[in-house]
Amino acid sequence: MSSSYLDHEYFEDKKVAKAFSCALSTRVKKRMEKVIESFVSKENVQRFRHGGDWKHPANPSAFNGGIQAHSVEGTTPFEDIVNNDLESIERGVTQLADGMT
């Protein structure tokens, strides 16, 4: 993860900020894996390793379409934070995962 995860920091404690960011990223990743698996088997998904190339486990000679940028922005209403609405975290994860599909 790049240092840009702290560009808009809302936590006073940088360790807490990093831990929250990593936990949220992991949660979104797991949700996305479930979404992808509902359409495509794991054996038919290209994988990317930093410093490497795209890999296709089922067919190493498959066409490499390259990297395409994809992004989504999520929001959490201020009232949810003030009201300590922890369900807003799960709603945010769903919002991000839905935006990536």
Alpha-carbon distance 97 to 31, whole Å? 6
Alpha-carbon distance 43 to 58, whole Å? 5
Tokens 């479930």 locate to 34
Three-state DSSP at 25 gives: helix
Whether pTM > 0.85 for this model: the answer is: no
Between residues 90 and 65, the one the model is more confident about: 90
Mean pLDDT check: name the lowest of 12-26, 31-45, 50-64.
50-64
Q: Kindly state the percentage of the chain with pLDDT values over 70.
A: 66
